[in-house]
Structure 1
């Protein structure tokens, strides 16, 4: 059995390596993402701006939606081919009998932060105090929503007892907090760093570091991935390989890039009007990016356990986590 397992793994890598040498079957792709300027999706912007998609023979059109839930809907509906989004969606879709698979990990920590409006900090001192409050998320049903749902359920509360308001992932999110339209916010950098710098929020939970992630989840917890429908992967293995190659190059570039290098590469509008603030946000989020591109088994389990805390459908579902991520394309990309 052991030898058969080794042989099967070797064949999978060889197949992916063969796909790497082939031209993409579908060079023109539409990629969906929910909040491209967020540092959560920085590897996508790097792959685009550094020309890695072009190097791989791909012409990628990027559709930026209001949140991850909307890019998932676009994939299911067929208006996009590929999504840069939260790993949790692959688990939730398997529970709905939808074959959606991650092909490379972009973020190993969520990087999501829960903050409370400064003038509400006296009455919202703990997660339990969020009952009845208005919480800003990038979009309802997105990873920022899952994050706060988990925290509330973990604290013994009911996530349905709070109101979730989609505020996006840029200046609209900052404005919602500044205007007092929301009591708390679950969002990412650079939004969080700007709100911190402006003295608008008090932090309740922070998953931008390994220590913070382990305190919240008890272990690692995968964040952004690239996910694709299973039938697309089967029909277009060379295309998928070239997509993964481009993102793998972006991860390798990010591993050694300085905050100044990154700020100089992204569009200036990503800075939210302040380059120094953006570079501080990059520094705060630098550890969140994947080193290998491969989701470890404990990370998959952690994500599944998180969802089970607040999603009754997942609590009773029989999820085969091995079917939520395939590592053969990343392993082939690493041999370049």
Structure 2
């Protein structure tokens, strides 16, 4: 009898110890203040926003007690408009939005980093490769960008200045970032191109362009910008973050979980997760593009120490509306939530 009692007591102790070891300060996670919300995304099918797609498709938002509606927009500026206008509580977009909004007197803060590199490539069209061998040869060139004033234009401008070429020395032509890019290259409309994947991978794979600058990797990004250049983030109004810290933490947990998954996901895992419509009818191309940008995804969601200053330096050299002396970088981001989330996925 004593033996049986001791066995039962031992089993009970083991169960209690196991329960005590569960995450979340006990038996359940904090309940978000706003369990149902809308997130505005500046182009969900793009690899730039893959962490958001993964968090939704793999159920990571739901695991955090969130019901997130993803509203897709043609670009980051349109998604920002939705957040500012109040039709979305949170935005998925470039870190630079927080800088420009502060310059306008409006306070938005990035709270989790998805991308630590811009994922933009500068290349020269094959027929011009003999004449344009480096960025220093771009004077007088017609260069395709997704749109004048866009991130593709920013990266191009910063890279050219390092090579001694001014923005006014070239003709920048808006060519979009989809099939219109292929048409611009094929028709001879442009001599060179600054654009994003998967189109740049498609053009490189076919031999249509020769890559000169590649910010799909951390190394390539540091070579262009002289430091880490934060890219895709989740951001929200400072007032939202202050009122909804548990919701902000839950969103951060889901994105860091997705970032962590992307570090080791197999090709089969990725193709199973991504909707067929996003694969462009060419799964192999999508996988090639993913492997080209994989290094760009943040492994932990943390803003790098030199990232905000690098971004401000690059943007202010590109846009005169941004005065570095009037920007408080500490108010444009926080690592408070990402630090807690990253500790769960070590």
Do structure 1's residue 62 and structure 2's residue 70 form an aligned pair? Answer: yes
Report 1:159-174 matches (<5 A). 159-160=167-168, 162-174=170-182
Q: Compare CA radii of gyration and give the structure with the larger one.
A: 2
SS at match of 2:117: coil
Deviates more, 1:221-230 or 1:89-98: 89-98
How far is 1:163 from its partner? 4.9
1:187 deviation in Å? 2.0
Distance 1:298 1:83 in 2: 23
Distance 1:138 1:57 in 2: 37
Partner of 1:33: 41
Q: Answer yes or no: is 1:137 the counterpart of 2:137.
A: no
Does 1:92 pair with 2:104?
no
2:162 counterpart (134, 154, 163)? 154
Distance (Å, rounded) in 2 between the aligned partners of 1:78 and 1:181? 40
Specify the SS of the correspondent of 2:321.
helix
Q: How does 1:6-85 map to 2 (within 5 A)?
A: 21-85=29-93
**Cα deviations across residues 11-60 of structure 1 (Å, max 9, x unaligned)?**
xxxxx99xx94323333322222222222211111111111122222222
Extract unaligned runs of 5+ from structure 1: 1-15
CA 1:66/1:25 → structure 2, altered by over 3 Å: closer, same or farther?
same
Q: What's the counterpart of residue 222 of structure 1?
A: 230
Unaligned runs of 5+ in 2: 1-23
Greater relative contact order: 1 or 2 (C-alpha under 8 angstroms, separation 6 or more)?
1
Contact 1:67 1:142 in 2 (8 A): no
Q: Is the 8 A contact 2:29 2:64 kept in 1?
A: no
Are 2:218 and 1:204 aligned? no
Q: TM-score, normalised by structure 2?
A: 0.83
Moved more, 164-173 or 56-65: 164-173
Which string of whole-angstrom CA distances, capped at 9 and with x for unpartnered residues, describes residues 128-172 of structure 1? 554555544344443223212222333344435555455444334
How far off its partner does 1:99 sit?
A: 0.8
Shift of residue 239 of structure 1? Answer: 1.9
Residue 335 of structure 1, CA deviation: 4.3
Per the alignment, in what secondary structure is the counterpart of residue 238 of structure 1?
Answer: helix
Aligned length: 320
Alpha-carbon distance between aligned partners in 1 of 2:108 and 2:132, rounded to the nearest angstrom: 38
Q: Secondary structure at the match of 2:303?
A: coil
**1:118 match:** 126
Pairing 1:178–2:186 present: yes
Give the SS at the match of 1:91.
Answer: helix
Which of residues 253, 271, 289 is equivalent to 1:281?
A: 289
Closer, same or farther: CA 184–59 of 1 in aligned 2, 3 Å: farther
Residues 263-282 of structure 1, C-alpha deviations (whole Å, 9 max, x = no match): 33112233333222222222
Distance 1:33 1:128 in 2: 36
Which deviates further from its counterpart, 187-196 or 168-177?
Answer: 168-177
Whether the aligned pair in 2 keeps the contact of 1:88 and 1:143 (CA below 8 Å) is: no
Instruction: Kindly report the root-mean-square deviation, in angstroms, between the aligned alpha carbons of the 2 structures.
Output: 2.6
